[in-house]
Structure 1
Amino acid sequence: MKQIYQLFSRETNLRSRLKKISLGIALFLGSNGANAQVSSYGFSQSTGNFTPLTGGNVLATATAAGATAAGLYNIAPIPVTMPFAFNFNGENYSNLVISSNGFITFGATSALNSTTLPLSYVGAYDGAISAWGRSLNSFSNIGGKTGDISTDVVGSAPNREFVIQWKNFRPIYATSISNVYAFSFQIRLKETSNTIDMVYDNGSYALGSSAISGTAQMGLRGETIADYNNRFNATSLLFGNSSIGTAATSTQAFNTTAATPGMPSSGLTYTWTPPSCFRPTKLSSNTPTTNGMTISWQAPTPMPSSGFEVYYSTSATAPDATTVASLSNISGNSVQLSTLTSGTTYYIYVRSLCSVTQKSEWTDALKVETLCGPVSSYYTGFEDSTTGAYLPLCWNRLVSSSLPGTLTTSTTTPAAGAKGIYLYTSATSTYTPSVAVLPELDNLNAGTHWLRFRTRITVAGTGTLQVGYVTNGNDMTTFNLLGDILVTNTAWSLGNDEKIYQIPAGVTIPAGARLALRTANDGKYFYIDELYWEAVPTCFAPSGITSTANTSNSISIAWNAATPIPTNGYEIYYSTSNTSPTASTSPSITGVMSTATTITGLLPLTQYFVWIRSKCSATEMSAWSLDGSSFNTICQPPSLSAVTGATFCSGQTATLSAMTDSGATINWYEDNTIATPLATGTTFTTPALTATTNYWVSSSVGSQGYVGISVPVSTSGNSGVSNLGMIFDAHQDMMIETVDVYPMHASNTTGTITIELRNAGGATLASATENVAVSPTGAYNAVPLNFAVPAGTDYKLVVTAKSTTIGNFIRESGAANYSFPYILSGICTMKDTTTTGFYYYLYNWKVSAKCESPRQQVTATLDAACLGTSEATKKNEIKVYPNPFHDVISISDIANAKSLSVMDISGRVIRKINEVTANSVNLSDLKEGLYILQLTYKDGSISSHKVIKK
């Protein structure tokens, strides 16, 4: 009874997806022969009968000594000649090698006698078929059973089967003579169809009954471990319910007593059916030229009747069944590729055409690079270079074997894209600087081109980058210095990172020499990105774009004129995106003939990026200015309406009022400069006044948000607190309310952290020391700061101290974990870290800002003709004396007095006694002059008295 567990097409589709992973492995290993084919074999499973061999050729038998030791264990692989040619993986074989560990191999190189995992073993055999691949052995004369390995031929030509049998084998290697489980299995190779059967007997105990369990490899392997087709089941699944393996290491679990996963049922048969059209193998190329190469391969057996097709591309994306071939109807096993581009990596694939409609799968990629010829212009962003001790194609990396400098392709915060190059040489003179040799350029002496690139150093100071040439591209000692480039910037910013070098007039570089870069022995760390060898422009971009005045819907800008001054003026492009315009980008503003203009029609509280280019003629434009300069419109505050003052009687309060837009807040201030309001709301009641007093009122709306990495990506920390943190710009007045930190210590649970706000000059503007929780993995803390930050640039928020109970703070050190800038639109931009290559400590900043209208003056006016009855009565009843006085003044009656205030003539309170308990008050500290003594009584009445201090 046949039972199909997997459909051929379904398995093939999954295999195709898994094969793409294997392709990456094959390319990484540099293998051109790892052409996956066994993955194309179909699989089916059935239940029949296990038919043991009754004659045939016994190749190895467990001896009597094996009863107490490891019978048939690690015996030498057994070579066998087959009675017919068998096609495996597209090649015909007449010989195979049998391993006592449950598998066979093909090819001149066999597995070792110690090989136990044939499908994931990286050995060089051509392929393997594994029925029970693991460490195995047999036994002799236990329970009347003895193990052996034998072969036989059954059936008649052309439908014979070559059978390899492992009889009475233990399912795992063991030496016990009291607990012995015996089972048998076969590999059956079928003539003509080239189908493979693996047939199992379920086995039984020859002695004992203790459970035996483990895993084994079942399936096929091609020339490498990237080419596999195997089975998998976990211990929780029946052995007979296996699924397609997902890696060369996939195994099937078994147990001799437990029903799950159990052992193979008697007669369980795995059948592997080859594809009807095999693809070629062993792709190779001759030595490429600058524009061509010859590709060769080994034709499969049988030879495809319609020949082969070739596909090649500069992209690593593999073709599929629908991809149109680059070359078709190739009758031989090689082809010449021509008209290729020099210094380029090509990926080449071949497939068989077995008929007009039947085609094999494409081979895996053969990766070949054409030779590099001299070029007149060049650009690289280093994206195609392999990370590590490599440089791009057509470059030479010259590094000393003794005390060398560093020269690598790096992913650490490049200027653009994902990669750049990194150079460093120790300041010790005995160290040898490494040399980065550029591709060969054929116009070094023409005087028409220059070298342009972006660079930075990692620590403040001055680094010297040397430009020169080598007369031998493989010998760093042939370096000749042309000139030095001084680098002081530590960040990629606003064009300050771009350097240009033009070979001086009169200098002649020898024929065949190549331009090169190296560092001086100055101990500086350099990063280089976006490198060009390009024609010197005749039309130059302006520089130094600045903002002269911003409103809620406009930005006024000015810039330095280009030299020479462009005849047709300037063109401007602006956007809320910092994506640089290209030569084909349409400008936003044209025909600007001066070096200043105003951009209007903008959105309030929005960050804009601005580029300018020169227009030297009707058709000639410069490049756009370097890096979009960033400017921000200010907010659009709500307007005030119906601002109303009030009159009051001396010693009484006044109620002022104002109206504003819905949702806005009204703020009342003591003067026009103090930042903190006295109160908020539509009305404001003054304190008791004795003179006309001015107040100020405004309306505002607030905005709040978060900036920076919200939560850590990394789990590792750093202990440094030497001014480590972030650099940011405040686009308007704002408040940093909280920041998140994650302190770490193996055993401590509490600590303190100090965080400071500093301006661009390094002066400390605010500081906070707060208690924090600590844990081994980094405890979450939202640290309250409430730092007020005026609008400005290049602020630093840094950690400056920690208690000894904190070991580290979580930080980000992998370039993939962070990406500057972090922008809270219209409020602030976190643009860099204080130490390049790291995101330090301060996560998830909570930031708020207030958009406020100009303050308007509102007046509380004293009504001089107003005198309340109660006040007049009290004034007539109460006497203060002597008047004038020297130091002490007396009050005739304080029985019902609640408080006493002493005010100057403007009404400003300079002394207040909240509880009046004595008739005399010492005012000796007052200066000579006129004062108002104001008594407030428990019934709310007020008595005011003018007194003179002598």
Structure 2
Amino acid sequence: MKLLHVLLFIIISTTGFSQTIADYIFTSTAGTYAEITGGTVSTAIGDDGTQTAIPIGFTFNYCGTAYTSFNTTTNGCVYLGSSFSYTNDLASTTYNPLIAGLWDDLYDDNNSDVSYVVTGTAPNRVLTVQWKNILWGRYTLNTALPDYRENFQIKLYETTNVIEIVYGSMNTPGIERTVSASVGINNTPGGSGKFLSVTPGVNPTVSNIIANNTIGTITYFTNGLTYRFAPSSCTSPSALTVANITTNQADASWTSTGNLWNIQYGLSGFAFGTGTIVTGLTAATYTIPSLNPSSTYQFYVQNDCGAEQSNWSGPYSFNTLCDITTALYTQNFDGVTTPALPNCWSKIVVGSAGTPTIGSSTTTPYSAPNCISMYNATSVGAATNLLLISPQFSDLAAGTNQIRFRARLSGTGTPVLAVGTMSNPTDAATFVPLQTFYDLTTNWQEYIITLASYSGTDQYIALKHGTGTTNQYIYIDNFKWEPIPTCAWPTAFTTTSTTSTSASFSWQDNAGASEWEIEYGATGFTPGTGAGTAITGITANPTTITGLTAQTTYQFYVRAICSITDQSQWTGPVTITTPCSEVTDFIENFDAVTTPAFPSCWYKVGTLGSANTSTTTPASAPNCLYLYSSSGTNQAMVAMQPVSNAGANTHQLRFKARGSTAGAKLEVGYLTNPTDPLTFTLIQSFTLNTTTFQEYIVYPGVSVGANTVMAFRAPGTPTYSIYIDDVKWEAKPSCTPPINIMASNVTTNSVDISWTLTGTETAWNIEYGLSGFTQGTGTVVAASTNPFTLTGLNPSSIYQFYIQSDCGGSDYSTWVGPISFTTLCESISAFPWSEGFEAVTIPAFPPCWFKENGDWVTTNNANTTYDADAHNGTQFLRDSYSATNEYIWTPGFTLVAGQSYDFSFWWAGDNYSYWVGDVFFNTSQVSTGATQIGTSFVTSSVTTSTTYKQEKYTFTPTTSGTYYMAIRVNCASSSPWYLSFDDFNFEPSPTCPRPTLLTAANMTQNSADVSWTLGSTESSWDVQYGPSGFTLGTGTIVEGVTNPY
């Protein structure tokens, strides 16, 4: 049995139907798909492949034009015009005429093809164009069949000029390309009324107004499905229109051939076929009766030609007139599509500048989904009129009604909202203010204006934007024109305090009542329906409601009781969540929740930063707590389970924590207001020095007082992620360890250790040793003072220590530590001093050396090929390119005033220039106040060499004391690589300096001329020589020679 679905022509409501598409009748049937045989494979292949000027094989008449050839494409359509695009749009005014079987960006690969064949004999021949296994939503070549492959045909029939689209095996499209196909036909010149676009379905429809170019599934493309477009001799009506619209009827009319018509009408959006149908009309007009006021209707018309009927033309939309109304009238603006206004509401928008607007909006309404937005842009002053105008009311002067609405502000400056009346809703000059409000805030507030004394004749209510400041939004919602209640409802209903089992409330009485009723229940309940719990006979304001359940969300309403028979309407809701009940101890490992949720009674405080549970490397699987703050003003905070004994000095907080990077900071404190992050008070701060979990303990003592909620906070400086696990609030041991342990006043052989007590102990044990010692093998000393001084230490050494409380009677706390410190360097007084860097572990410096800026490191010969190797041995000192005032300081030397000293070193470059090197001295390892010695040993214009050269600088201190030597490197370019240094030496200047810069020249088979640079003013020298590598003292010595020799 064939299923016939009649075409629905969709007509713009302000224009008539155009017959340029020749009234093709659309039907959908369940047929059979027969793959063609013996056809011609098209040259349209690959991506966007096309073939043009293909003979149809007969003359085909389409929309009144005869065609003998066609063009095709891999993208699922036959086009009769000369222009085509793979971007499908049946409404296009460019790409037509066109027949679309599945018009989209399809792809032809080695397993698919486009082919065509002409079958039958004149005058009943048929052209079939077939797409076989074409890829839809897929780009990958040669994928396995049948994935993502589609099969369909377009058929053109001789003589009848019928068009068919037949679907074969269809498969779910791929996801490599966005799928968005079109099915249907179009005609020149394109645009509205010049196409028929199919929307597939159980009962498929077509439209010539709205082109469906977003088909993305094969849900309704069953094998054998046939869409048929056949020219019709029964033309559809056109030029649909209405006239004489009233509140309850309208005269519909149309232009059409014939003398018999059918009409179908209903409320806007009704499903075609479900409307009111009137048949057998003998005039091209009909008065549609029994309509509702201020409503939108649609109608369709069909030409009845006897043997056949035309397509339905329509829908044509119109609005019935608004009825004059009276109180009670309500409008929440939710029944429209933004930015439209509801029926019978209007606006006047006259701006002095910018683009002011009034319309419905979804921006944070009081009642979802819509409210009204009034925006003045840059329009200000008397020349601007922004008015939202109500429907017509006949009872403004009745003296028994009031205006009630909600309003809020978005923007800066003083807000102004005027409420008044108008006699003419199209004339802003008729606006007469009743009351002006200056107290709008960013929160919704209710406003009431009574018209008990109004005696005017106006019949419209208007809300006017005050336009006192530019770029202000005023939002309006839940407008009501209602009788003035005999028992006024309370306002300013709010909660004043909340505990785990009770809540206190206050309100503003407006009825002179002495009794009230409060009803509460779960979120969303309706008061007065029995769904809530009613508390009657309340005579105190404020009042406290008890018997609540901890950690539960409630909504509360209040109303005034003016008499037994007269009660106000309900005011509310006020929503609260009771806090958790306080406990005396807890253990939380975050493992019982599904991330990112918090455990019961734990919560993120405020909106800043990021906080949640996480599965990222917990201390105990599977979960831990995560905090991240992007800055010091965007701090993440998490509140813990409330406890009743936070300030009792009986418990401790123990937890494990780590940072995503060493050096992360974590703070522990308490909240005086459990929901306000600004009330956080710090108890203790921690630096997380490793990326693995370490245990930490906090002893709040009595500092927390009566507060019950403690919290973790990520301070945001530095911006590292923090992970917390295995949190315990537990009774503290009888002997608690010290906290806030510090090492200060470090000297070459001593250090002061101080701490904060967590109990009343007066004795402690300290164990110390060189860094890395195993606890139990160190030196243990008893301390009876705080602070305590450790003595007898070695200079320039790294130490670690642990400390425990001794509470007496063999009661000791756990050890706390290790805490590290480094003793100061001892000034060098034994000369000569030298350093060749062979004893250090690269890239570290020898003890008491100090880098001030730059990339100074120690390294070895194997590390790079771009520097010189060590002068002696295998290790040396190095600085790298792009250097700016990069200093390396030696240890300190104890020097005597007036004594001359020599500082020497060997250096090498990298065969590049731009390097500048200088030598300084100072009384501390800092460049501020340092004094340069001599001139630069290398300047930027010199091309350096990888051959080492020795430099010697001499200076004489004017006062005795400790001095430090420094080399400063600068390099303004990134072209060089490295400067290398080795074999430093410091010693008093000798009385007879040794010669330097020994050279040899004029070598023969048995002689050579040697020369040197004088060490001082000497005039006689001794020379010692021998075979290469001889030991000094074993060579041949010649005394009293001259220079050269």
TM-score by length of 2: 0.44
Which has the higher Rg, Structure 1 or Structure 2? Answer: 2
TM-score by length of 1: 0.48
Which structure has more RCO (C-alpha within 8 Å, separation ≥ 6)?
A: 1
